[in-house]
Amino acid sequence: MANPLTDKQFIRLLDDRLTKVYHDEFNNLPMIIDTFYNRMKSSKAWEEYFSVGDIPDPEAFNGTIQYQGISPGYHTKIEPSEYAGGIMIERRLLDTERYDIIESRPKGLAKAANRKMNKIAHEPFIYHTSTAFSFMTPEEGVALCSNSHTTKSGTSTATGFDNLSTLAFNAVNLEAVRIQSLGLKSDISERIDTNFDTIVHGSNNAEAVWEVINSQGKVDEMTNNANFQHKKVETDRTSALG
């Protein structure tokens, strides 16, 4: 437990001779919750989600209808944690402080709460290869981005189930990942339509991403070839990703 704020700690605030007291000078990183997530209210202790598999192709009719089977998908449980925080202030400090700074400090709790929520919202992007989730218990048991995804249908997962790439970012590798995404399959190993339309990146890659997406010609090439990636996707920079 943190010690209460006392007049001995903040004795300068008891002095009328200060020209200015600086506070609330730092802004939090931009909130990303409404950019990447849908908000929902819940009065439950936990929320549960379940998926149902795809339907196989119909077979040639030979006088008898062939009934297709459907496999269950995976179950996911989300159990939010509760967070709480407070500030303990010595009564004497409140009574004798000369700049009304300490009395306004509890307002900073809302700023701290928003910062914590923003950190949690970044976790799927920062820890996308981890199987340790803060609130979620997935039945599949693999990371969000993984080359080990499974299916209950019994079909082969040799191709079309890997959504992890560890290539360095550049124009050539972006195209390789785009092509990989076009091969993603459903739970019964059928090709599906994908539309990867946004690159989420940190500040360290901001210049490289901007060049690849905005250059009219191919990046770093002495040719007149057009840049296939030009204006193809949106970009979203978040400093918390590095």
What local confidence, expressed as pLDDT, does residue 117 receive? 92
102-145: pLDDT as tens digits: 777 777 888 899 999 999 999 999 999 999 999 999 999 999 99
Decide which of 145 and 84 is more confident.
Answer: 145
Give the span between the Cα atoms of 126 and 121, in whole angstroms.
10
> What's the mean pLDDT in 208-224?
89
Q: Is pTM, for the whole model, over 0.85? A: no
Query: What confidence tier does 189 reach under pLDDT thresholds 50, 70, 90?
Result: very high
Closest alpha carbon to 205 in 170, 154, 180, 161: 170
